[in-house]
Chain A
Amino acid sequence: MALTKADIINTVQADEGLTKQQSTDIIETLIEIIKSTLQSGEDVLISGFGKFCIRDKNERKGRNPATGDDLMLAPRRVVTFKCSGKLRDRIN
């Protein structure tokens, strides 16, 4: 089973002795802070976990995999993730 936001909210609620509403608000706020930081173009570095990076991608030629048609992919800005060494060690 995948870990979801609801699972994290439950853990925070139990650990901190908060109400469901309080822990929901806190986790929603936390996620919103991360998202707006990334939206502003700033990277988010979480030691022991990894780094959420903002990368600008240039325009490039692509292909529609269904039809095989050539098309131009517009320049865009994306989020990438660089795994920390600690997390990599935990997984292996």
Chain B
Amino acid sequence: MNKADLADALSEANGLTKTEAKVIVDTFFNEMVETLARGERVEIRGFCSFYVKQYKPYVGRNPKTGETVQISPKKLPYFKCGKELKERVDY
């Protein structure tokens, strides 16, 4: 399922027009992006939470050629699955 499918499913479920549903889906994810870009946490109970994790620089290796490469410090969003989602997905 992609973002367009999600907007379609939302418009069908809530009687919104496809355009309205698309705007709302965009707002939902944009809010999360903006929050993470400021380095803040996102916490949606029952779904998931994200925080920005700082990674230190390290010397890595290109697995194909074996060459060593310097990996610069970076930040990545760290995803934690919410309790309800975790239980529903597991068999």
What residues of B have a CB within 8 angstroms of the CB of A30 in the complex?
A: 6, 10, 24-25, 28
Query: Beta-carbon contacts of B72-91 to A below 8 Å, as 1s and 0s?
Result: 00111101010011101111
What residues of chain A lie closer than 8 Å to B25, measured between beta carbons? 30
> Chain A contacts of B44 at CB under 8 A?
4-5, 8, 31
Q: Does A88 contact B (CB under 8 A)?
A: yes
- The answer to whether B29 and A46 have CB atoms under 8 Å apart is yes
Whether the Cβ atoms of B29 and A26 lie closer than 8 Å is no
A26:B1 contact, CB within 8 angstroms? no
Closest chain-B Cβ to A62's Cβ sits at a distance in Å of 16
User: Considering the chains assembled together, what is the distance between the CA atoms of A87 and B13 in angstroms?
Assistant: 28
Residues of A with C-beta under 8 A to B10: 26, 29-30, 33
Query: A11 and B33: CB pair below 8 A?
Result: no
Q: A residues touching B (Cβ–Cβ < 8 Å)?
A: 1-5, 7-8, 11-12, 15-16, 25-27, 29-31, 33-35, 37-39, 42-50, 54, 76-81, 83, 87-88, 90-92
Question: Can you identify 26 A-B contacts, CB atoms within 8 angstroms?
Answer: A4-B43, A12-B27, A16-B20, A26-B10, A26-B14, A27-B28, A31-B47, A33-B10, A34-B6, A35-B46, A38-B85, A38-B88, A43-B1, A45-B2, A46-B2, A48-B29, A49-B29, A79-B89, A80-B79, A81-B77, A83-B77, A87-B33, A90-B36, A91-B36, A91-B39, A91-B75
